[in-house]
Chain A
C-alpha cells in the first residue's frame, strides 16, 4: 500500500500519525509547499507577539517524519491530481503514484480587492513566512490598521498591541467577532480591548490604501482618512481547491467528504480546512476551518485509509480566545436563527454566559470571563441530548459533569465509549 498525503499541517500530520498507528510498514509520502515542517499556524500570533520563538511553534517533534517513517517532500507544490492513473504531479514535473490519497491542502486568506493592496506594509497572515515578513517590518512601533474583526484579525491585532503598536480595528459589521459572539459578549471583548488601547471602528469598510511604495494611510467608506504604516487584512479564509478544479471531485464551499472522510472518487479522501463535512449544529454540510476539527478529520481519514473503518460524526464551530486576560469560548450557533430556537443568558461582573437550544437540544454557547468546564457543553452538543430540563444548571457557575450523570445514564445508548461506560455502570449500581 502506498499512501500519499498532500498537506503537512494539522490534518495531514494527524492522518500520517493515524495511518502509522494501524499500518506500521506501508509507504507514506507527504507533500507540502511550505519549507518549515510541523509548525502550528494557530501559534503565529504568539510568534508575532514575541511570546513564542520560531523554535517553539512546532506541534510535533522535529524528527516526526523520521520517527514515523514518512517520506516528506518539503517545499514541493502538488500541481495536479490524476484520478485515472492514480497519481499526482508535483511542480517539478514528476509523477507520484498513490493507492490512497488524502487532500489536506487547507485554506488561504481571502484577499481583499482594494486599491493599494500591493503596497509595502500590507499583510495577510496564513503561514510562517507571512508572520516573519510582518515581524521584519516592525522595526519601530507604528500605527497599524486591521481590516476585519474575525478571529484572525483579533488575534493579530492583539499580538501587535502587545508589541506596543497602536492598533485600530476596522470592522464592516456592527461588532467584533460577529460570527462567534452576540452583541453582549462582543461588547465585553471590545471594552477590554479599548481599555488597553486598541481602537475599534465598527460599521466601516476600508476602500483605499494610500501611500507611495509604503503604506501611509487608509480611506474608509465615509471618507475618513486614517494614518498608518501597516495594514493587516483579516477577511476570512477559503479552501485551497485549486488542485481539484481539473478533476471530477465534488466540491461545494469545500471538498465534500462523507462520514469516512472519502470524496466522491475512489481512494481519495479529504480532511481539514479544505473539506466540507457534516455540521452537527446546522445539520447540513459546512466548512469548519479550525485546528481541532482538522486534527480529528485527519485522524478519521487516516484510520479509514489504512483500513480501520471509523465514522466521523461531524463538527461544529468552536473557538477559545483570551484577550488581555479575558477568556472567551464560543461554540456552535450562538444566536437564534429562526423558529424553534431558544436563547438563555446569565451575566455578572465581567462574565457572560449564553446557551442556544433548538428543539430542546443544545446547539450553541458563549462563555465570557469564566470558561471552566466549557467542555461539558461541548459534550452535550456532540451527544445531541435534550437539555431543556437543565437549562439553569448549564448557565450557572456550578456547571459540572457529575451532576449530569442521571441525564447521561438516561441516554446511555449515546455514551458507548469506555470512558463513559465506566462511569454509568457504577452510577447505576448506586441508584438501583
Chain B
C-alpha cells in the first residue's frame, strides 16, 4: 500500500496542502473563486494542526473506523486497501469519529457525512503532495510485510 508520508523537517505549516485539498477535493465547484464562498464550507481532508506534521488518514492496518461503522459505509478499496467513506450511504452517526485514533475523520453536520482522506485514490497523485511547495509530503510504499485487513467490497452496494 502506498501512503502519504511527511517530512517534518521540510514542513513549514504553510497550509498550502489543506487549502488546495479543500478546493480541489472538498468543494463542489472545484474553482478557487467560488469554493471559498461555498456554504457549507469545503472540508479539507488533511489536518495541519502543529508540530510541522500535517496529518492524513493513516489507513491503519486494522482500522477501527471500519469496525465501528454500523452500515458498511466505511470500507477499503479491494485493490489498494485504502480506507474510504461511501458517502451516499453514510448516516452521519459519528461512530468513526469516535474511534479514529488520529482524529482525522471530520464530522460535517452540514453535509451530513463523515469526511476523510482517501489518499486521492482515483488520482495519479494526491493533490496535497502535488502542491506542497517544500516537498514535505510524499507518496511512499508502506514498509515491507505490512498488511491491511477489513471490509473491502468489490462493488458498491
When C-beta atoms are compared, the residue in chain B nearest to A380 turns out to be: B101
Interface segment among A57-65, A134-142, A231-239, A254-262: the answer is A57-65
A374 to B65, CA, bound (A): 12
A329 to B143, CA, bound (A): 35
Interface residue count on the A side (C-beta < 8 Å):
58
Contact A403:B93 (CB < 8 A) given known A376-B103, A418-B143:
no
Closest approach, in angstroms, between the C-beta of A88 and any C-beta of chain B?
Answer: 27
Kindly state whether residue B29 has any CB partner on chain A within 8 Å.
no
Interface pair A423/B94, CB less than 8 Å apart? no
In the complex, chain B residues whose CB is within 8 Å of the CB of A420: 58
Contact A430:B9 (CB < 8 A) given known A400-B50, A401-B101:
yes
A68 to B6, CA, bound (A): 38
Point out the residue from A51, A52, A291, A403 that lies within 8 Å of B50, measured CB to CB: A403
Interface pair A374/B142, CB less than 8 Å apart? no
Closest approach, in angstroms, between the C-beta of B81 and any C-beta of chain A?
Answer: 12
Interface pair B91/A375, CB less than 8 Å apart? no
Interface pair A430/B8, CB less than 8 Å apart? yes
Q: What does DSSP make chain B's interface, helix, strand, loop or mixed? A: loop
Kindly state whether residue B52 has any CB partner on chain A within 8 Å.
yes
When C-beta atoms are compared, the residue in chain A nearest to B3 turns out to be: A422
Kindly state whether residue B100 has any CB partner on chain A within 8 Å.
yes
1/0 contact trace for B1-17 toward A, CB 8 Å?
00101111100000000
Kindly state whether residue A113 has any CB partner on chain B within 8 Å.
no
Interface segment among A39-47, A70-78, A217-225, A352-360: the answer is A39-47
Interface pair B95/A402, CB less than 8 Å apart? no
Kindly state whether residue A133 has any CB partner on chain B within 8 Å.
no
In the complex, chain A residues whose CB is within 8 Å of the CB of B95: 291-292, 320
In the complex, chain A residues whose CB is within 8 Å of the CB of B45: none
Interface segment among B18-26, B34-42, B126-134, B145-153: the answer is B145-153
When C-beta atoms are compared, the residue in chain A nearest to B105 turns out to be: A375
Interface pair B97/A59, CB less than 8 Å apart? no
Within 8 A of B (CB), among A386-432: 398-403, 405-406, 417-423, 426-427, 429-430
Interface pair B151/A60, CB less than 8 Å apart? yes
Question: How many pairs of A and B residues are in contact by the CB < 8 Å rule?
Answer: 163
When C-beta atoms are compared, the residue in chain B nearest to A46 turns out to be: B91
Within 8 A of A (CB), among B29-84: 47, 49-55, 58-62, 64, 67-72
Within 8 A of A (CB), among B112-150: 142-143, 146, 149
A14 to B143, CA, bound (A): 27
Closest approach, in angstroms, between the C-beta of A214 and any C-beta of chain B?
Answer: 33
Interface pair B70/A291, CB less than 8 Å apart? yes
Interface pair B109/A402, CB less than 8 Å apart? no
Contact A40:B103 (CB < 8 A) given known A402-B51, A418-B142:
no
A317 to B52, CA, bound (A): 34
A319 to B50, CA, bound (A): 28
Kindly state whether residue A276 has any CB partner on chain B within 8 Å.
no
Point out the residue from B54, B67, B94 that lies within 8 Å of A299, measured CB to CB: B67
Closest approach, in angstroms, between the C-beta of A119 and any C-beta of chain B?
Answer: 32
List 8 A-B pairs, minimum CB-CB distance, nearest first: A373-B103, A379-B101, A375-B100, A292-B68, A400-B49, A419-B58, A42-B70, A430-B8
Residues in chain B within 8 A of chain A (CB atoms):
3, 5-9, 47, 49-55, 58-62, 64, 67-72, 89, 91-107, 109, 142-143, 146, 149, 151, 153-155, 157
- Residue contacts A-B, CB under 8 angstroms, 15 given: A62-B157, A329-B94, A378-B99, A399-B103, A400-B47, A401-B101, A402-B55, A405-B51, A417-B61, A418-B61, A420-B58, A422-B3, A422-B143, A423-B6, A427-B51
